[in-house]
Amino acid sequence: MATQKTDLLRISFYLAAAALLCAAAGCGGTLNASNAVSPPKSGCNASTTSGPGTATCPARTPVAGVSFTGKVSAGMQPVAGASVQLYAAGITGNGSAAAALLAASVTTGANGGFTIPGGYTCPSAQTPVYLLSKGGQPGSASAANASLWLMTALGECGAIGAGNTYFVNEATTVASVWALAPFMSSGGNAGASCTNTAGLDNAFATAQNLVNISTGTSPGAAIPSTLAVPSSKLNTLANALTACTASSGGSGCPALFNAAVSGDTVPGNTLDAALNIARAPANNVAAIYALASGSSLFSPALSAQPPDWMLANTVTGGGMSMPSSLGVAATGNIWVASYNDAVSEFLPSGAAVFSTGITGNGINQSFAMALDIEDNVWIANEQTTPSVGTGTVTELNSSGLALATGLTSGGIFFPAAVAADSNGNVWVVDYGDSRVTLLSPSGAAISSAPGWGGTALNFPVALAVDSNHNAWVANQSSTTSITEISADGSQVTNYDCDCNGASGIATDENNNVWIANYYGNSVSEVNSCGTVLLDAATGGGINHPQGTAIDGAGTAWVANYRGNSLSEISGSSSSTPGTFLSPSSGFGADASLLEPFGLAIDASGSIWVSNEGNDTLTQFIGAAAPVKPPLAGPPQLP
């Protein structure tokens, strides 16, 4: 049965059987979508929940930094006369001002070498730090280049080895900028809220997976065996930067800066140019590739123009077998449910926590899982044992140990989706009888059997929770509606969203609801009153959309199951709401996506996608605005 995948949700091989089960069980869902659509509610108000963490910043214990050396190069040539400064990342928000740690910058010698003297003071041993080099004259150039700005993300201050040598070049710059893009602002600043130290730390670690800072080459020094990094694409971007960095007096910079323009603003240095490219990876792809193709200094490099300039890691192993849904823990670890009877956990680095995954504990034929506010993992087991029974729910703790197995109370019946709310309660979609179940944090039933929803639901396959703890349910067999169910199950309301095969659903910071219409090849959005804001929009690579998530800026991201791509849509709070920001083929056509199913965003701004067709995860590095994990209701800034 596990191999019987179709264009529905890969569980629609149950469609005919479920209809018979429904007739026997007396469930209310119907195949003809004849349920009446209620008018919009009156007096409903959106609740903004996306503000950054407000916890008091923890005290930091300053530490003295050690001396180390480095080398700045541009176009593989030493850069003489460059000004090098060591910075501590800011703590007052994304892109906040960094703190210079040296009383005065150091200057590179003729061989590009420099020494950072010991005795500087880091805010703490855990504070991430980075090197920034400005200006200087590449070896064969006849004049200095003021636009030559390069960067290397070093990581925690306390991890710097005394006497170590670190490289600063185009490859370290690309790795640093793409990994830290959500935390950077122009002028070389990098920082995050003090409530998101984990997200920032993980982003610095991602940069070091991309490049070895001791050699200035890709990949990193000690990447896990489960991780493959896009070295050729990174090297191609580094080669594009050399058009400016290696030029005499910056003569080659205008071409790069014009290709990396942001709005009406042309960057004035290579670091800001790289940041613009990372943030608008579909812009001027051909022009940037043309710059890169004139150089082969960093290799291996791409032999053909890529579809976009996103960088994506690929993760394998860990027991994944037809991976479906996934979630991010507070630590940044990624949990993945597989249809073929396993749950996997990966570190943010891509290393598998369990080499063959977690099995047993009733885990069986799962298309859905979610993490609650305590980082407990809830898994919907579509059938009780292979091809037998009406399904159960399993709960694991953050260490992967079973807290509860075989949960069936509250109406569990072929469970197909799970979502947690900020109270710690867990909602479960019961595909088999078109209802939903609500469980308490302990796994006790809040809903009474056979579940909530009455006759309104129509073979539901996904749900999301708003800030008022209401559930919004995607009815895949309906051609028009989604359903809202109140937190106590007493109110059930259908809304016309012009949907067609709704298969993915997510709520944003304003309690708007985004719907991926699998059969309609479109995306819809309604507000909390049920009023349509985006009416079955097409474009941007949308092709049988499935997994859906909203980032910390309110931007919607959708995994295209048949398009093998990722789509991006501007959020309701943007200046152009509902606009497709992804190209016509979507993002990631070169990222080895195959039947991308689930999608989740972490506190570093990386987008994680499960590929059901090739048993992998894809990490789109630093592509989104960070989200506080675990997701419980609408997204919040960390």
Higher pLDDT: 36 or 537? It is 537
Residue 81 lies in a domain: yes
Q: How far apart are CA 397 and CA 404, in angstroms?
A: 9
Q: How far apart are CA 482 and CA 474, in angstroms?
A: 5
Considering the chain, what percentage of its residues have pLDDT values greater than 90? 85
Domain that holds residue 272: 67-293
Q: Does 366 lie in the same domain as 222?
A: no
**In this predicted model, what pLDDT tens digit does every residue of 96-153 receive, in sequence order?**
999 999 999 999 999 999 999 999 999 999 999 999 999 999 998 899 999 999 999 9
Q: Does 199 lie in the same domain as 325?
A: no
Total domains in the fold of the chain: 2
Q: Does 372 lie in the same domain as 235?
A: no
Considering the chain, what percentage of its residues have pLDDT values greater than 70? 91
**C-alpha separations of 362 from 25, 112, 231, 246, 393 in Å:** 24, 60, 40, 60, 8
Q: Does 393 lie in the same domain as 283?
A: no
Residue 558 lies in a domain: yes
Are 188 and 180 contacting, i.e. CB atoms less than 8 angstroms apart? no
Token readout for 598 is 């689930």
Residue 79 lies in a domain: yes
Residue range 323-352: mean pLDDT, rounded: 97
**In this predicted model, what pLDDT tens digit does every residue of 215-250 receive, in sequence order?**
999 999 999 999 999 999 999 999 999 999 999 999
- What phi and psi values does residue 426 have, to the nearest 5 degrees? -130, 125
Token readout for 245 is 């960095």
Cα dihedral sign for 285, 233, 543, 179? Answer: negative
**In this predicted model, what pLDDT tens digit does every residue of 453-467 receive, in sequence order?**
988 999 999 999 999
Residue 252 lies in a domain: yes
Q: Does 368 lie in the same domain as 281?
A: no
Q: How far apart are CA 181 and CA 159, in angstroms?
A: 22
Residue 299 lies in a domain: no
What is the predicted pLDDT for the residue at 263?
Answer: 82
Q: Does 327 lie in the same domain as 182?
A: no
**What's the DSSP call for residue 159?**
G
Residue 463 lies in a domain: yes
Residue range 607-632: mean pLDDT, rounded: 98
Residue 353 lies in a domain: yes
Q: Does 417 lie in the same domain as 288?
A: no
Q: Does the pLDDT value for residue 19 go beyond 60?
A: no
What is the predicted pLDDT for the residue at 29?
Answer: 36
What is the predicted pLDDT for the residue at 16?
Answer: 37
Nearest to 635 by CA among 45, 199, 49: 49
Q: What is the CA radius of gyration of the chain?
A: 25
Q: Does 153 lie in the same domain as 268?
A: yes
Q: Does 460 lie in the same domain as 593?
A: yes
Q: How far apart are CA 361 and CA 274, in angstroms?
A: 47
Angle at 219 between CA 330 and CA 110, to 5 degrees: 115
Which of 293, 313, 331 terminates a domain? The answer is 293
Measure the CA dihedral 330/336/342/347, to 10°: -60
Residue range 53-75: mean pLDDT, rounded: 88
**C-alpha separations of 473 from 8, 10, 336, 456, 497 in Å:** 16, 18, 22, 10, 12
Q: Does the pLDDT value for residue 27 go beyond 50?
A: no
Q: How far apart are CA 355 and CA 604, in angstroms?
A: 24
Residue range 570-585: mean pLDDT, rounded: 94
What's the predicted TM-score (pTM) here? Answer: 0.93
Q: How far apart are CA 464 and CA 549, in angstroms?
A: 10
Token readout for 427 is 């909602």
pLDDT category at 11 given cuts 50, 70, 90 is very low
382: domain CATH number is 2.120.10.30
Q: Does the pLDDT value for residue 480 go beyond 80?
A: no
Q: Does 355 lie in the same domain as 263?
A: no
In terms of Cβ atoms closer than 10 Å to its own Cβ (0-12, 13-18, 19+), residue 520 is: buried
pLDDT category at 34 given cuts 50, 70, 90 is very low
Q: Does 337 lie in the same domain as 209?
A: no
What is the predicted pLDDT for the residue at 23?
Answer: 41
Q: Does 330 lie in the same domain as 287?
A: no
- DSSP, collapsed to helix, strand or coil, labels residue 579 as coil
**Mean pLDDT of all residues belonging to the chain:** 91
- DSSP, collapsed to helix, strand or coil, labels residue 112 as coil
Q: How far apart are CA 548 and CA 546, in angstroms?
A: 6
Are 393 and 412 contacting, i.e. CB atoms less than 8 angstroms apart? yes
Residue 373 lies in a domain: yes
